[in-house]
Structure 1
């Protein structure tokens, strides 16, 4: 293995799909209410993939939650102009932001143009008509507090019901909202998702973490990545603080800290991403050296570097056949590590 420059960070070659990784980390930060971090991550991802509707939506929501409503509005408006994302989904976001800004004249003008220029889906007509009537009244100086609260409630209900849909874009919207509400009225829906075959591991981790943060102390069953177990969310370790993860990181660090810190940094990033998806499960068998060798091997393959399984097994003192099975499992996780949006 060739040693690379250890001090020049410009030599760092990102793993394939860095923009997807940044989107995942942005969603994690958004769900954890680290809005400044989320904004930076989404903006970095947008630089790499300027046409991704999911990155744009994430950034809009991060601006919105951080209170940067004007930025959220401007970005949403540019999405509509550039045709990024589902048109009516983005229109709904745009209107929601303007409701918060009390820009009722612009809301009315937007809906009027929409009704003239576009064929509105039947399920949207009543909603837009109601908004238009309300916005005109507000713009004319005839406030109706009860109607305004009803409109806000309608948006809140819409956001909370996204879990019942299979569209991943709607699930992305949900991620930004679940942490900010009392989830107990929605427990049955959330529990059903945790055991559903079609539920994505990423979103399941988010739900479990929210249950933990809200100190839910009853058993819930979780199915993901071929595993099935019962957990008490309030008793779980933090999503980013797993003993097995730390042990694997230490084993890889012991081999690469001085030899190849760039490779080490990226292997640790891969580990953290996959453990987020695994949460609250752990890798089996519970042998940190085995998994350290497997992640080391996978990291080498990502870089197009030589990584001989027999040599790697010898370095870490593990059985080569078991190492190969672990490498295959890591590959399977990596294939599903990002929602197919």
Structure 2
């Protein structure tokens, strides 16, 4: 590259708001569980604006979802040192990463130092005190914790977090329990699965972890007012369900080329819904009705004014059935993702 080309390159002016648009796309991809796409959007954002707080934080979150915990930890650690972004939000994620990586000494040293120097926000204090107490227990009894002892139980503090904590604490407890021997994990989550008040999405996460661990026994689950037994080995990965894909194909035929943003919204809502419902199947098992309901729901979320009667006609489904399914999607979306 000659000097003139270099000068011209330096004079390139980016379209206004391009970084924010990339970050928004990254956050949408995260919500839609498209973690590779999210990683790409955040990475592009940081190439333009290396210190963008939300892009850095989003990149860390996308790495976590891809099980690249060490890389995520490096990002959050650097953000804390450079004071980029919301300190306490980043601290909570960083501590969570240290716990998941089993670096309990670092948790103890870091939290003890922070608690000596400054007052923690009320909404984080309890959670961080729990983690400090848990990490101290892990440091004090690390050798015992690694033993595959049939009588072994996790610390009571961790079980308390799982069964009585807020959803974010419960998620953290599930991640930590998931790193313990399978029989400990199975015994610890049974009560959680049976409590109908607990977050249905967290129950779905537990069921997928059980499947990954090849658990052979049946588990009893209470979700959306119904109690049923689940054969873990027979569970299908929710993100590869034929029914889910068939439904989205119908929506794609109507929206993907005509209105890509609307189709993307419908796709995200659909996988959110299926994951919350997992492993229950939507009723009725008619892809056309659910495709119409998704179309209607996406239009509603975008605040558009499409003719709902016409939507039902396009998919050749009963209008009232379409409305009923759309209402169910919205209801479960609000209930499952309110925290």
Unmatched runs of 5 consecutive residues or more in structure 1: 1-9, 30-35, 132-145
Q: Does residue 168 of structure 2 align to residue 169 of structure 1?
A: yes
Q: Does residue 178 of structure 2 align to residue 200 of structure 1?
A: no
Q: Supply the distance in 2 between the matched residues of 1:70 and 1:309 (Cα, whole angstroms).
A: 49
Provide the secondary structure at the position in 1 that maps to 2:88: coil
Provide the secondary structure at the position in 2 that maps to 1:282: coil
Q: CA deviation at 1:316?
A: 1.6
Q: Report the counterpart of residue 273 of structure 2 in structure 1.
A: 274
Kept after mapping to 2: 8 A contact 1:252/1:293:
yes
Q: Supply the distance in 2 between the matched residues of 1:20 and 1:159 (Cα, whole angstroms).
A: 34
Matches within 5 A, 1:134-283: 149=142, 161=159, 162-283=161-282
Q: Supply the distance in 2 between the matched residues of 1:336 and 1:219 (Cα, whole angstroms).
A: 26
Q: Supply the distance in 2 between the matched residues of 1:45 and 1:210 (Cα, whole angstroms).
A: 32
Q: CA deviation at 1:248?
A: 0.9
Change (3 A) 1:191 1:72: same
Q: Report the counterpart of residue 7 of structure 1 in structure 2.
A: none
Q: Supply the distance in 2 between the matched residues of 1:78 and 1:171 (Cα, whole angstroms).
A: 30
Q: Report the counterpart of residue 305 of structure 1 in structure 2.
A: 304
Q: Report the counterpart of residue 115 of structure 1 in structure 2.
A: 116
Kept after mapping to 1: 8 A contact 2:216/2:232:
yes
Provide the secondary structure at the position in 1 that maps to 2:204: helix
Kept after mapping to 1: 8 A contact 2:31/2:268:
no
Q: Supply the distance in 1 between the matched residues of 2:144 and 2:93 (Cα, whole angstroms).
A: 18
RCO comparison, higher one (Cα < 8 Å, 6+): 1
Change (3 A) 1:191 1:79: farther
Provide the secondary structure at the position in 2 that maps to 1:276: helix
Provide the secondary structure at the position in 2 that maps to 1:259: coil
Q: Report the counterpart of residue 33 of structure 1 in structure 2.
A: none
Q: Supply the distance in 2 between the matched residues of 1:80 and 1:319 (Cα, whole angstroms).
A: 52
Q: Supply the distance in 1 between the matched residues of 2:328 and 2:296 (Cα, whole angstroms).
A: 13
Q: CA deviation at 1:236?
A: 0.9
Q: 1:66 aligns with which of 41, 65, 69?
A: 69
Q: Supply the distance in 2 between the matched residues of 1:75 and 1:63 (Cα, whole angstroms).
A: 20
TM-score w.r.t. the length of structure 2 is 0.66
Change (3 A) 1:70 1:288: closer
Provide the secondary structure at the position in 1 that maps to 2:268: helix
Kept after mapping to 2: 8 A contact 1:73/1:94:
no
Q: 1:84 aligns with which of 75, 88, 97?
A: 88
Q: Supply the distance in 1 between the matched residues of 2:84 and 2:257 (Cα, whole angstroms).
A: 49
RMSD: 4.8
Q: Supply the distance in 2 between the matched residues of 1:80 and 1:282 (Cα, whole angstroms).
A: 43
Q: Supply the distance in 2 between the matched residues of 1:169 and 1:271 (Cα, whole angstroms).
A: 23
TM-score w.r.t. the length of structure 1 is 0.66
Unmatched runs of 5 consecutive residues or more in structure 2: 1-17, 147-153
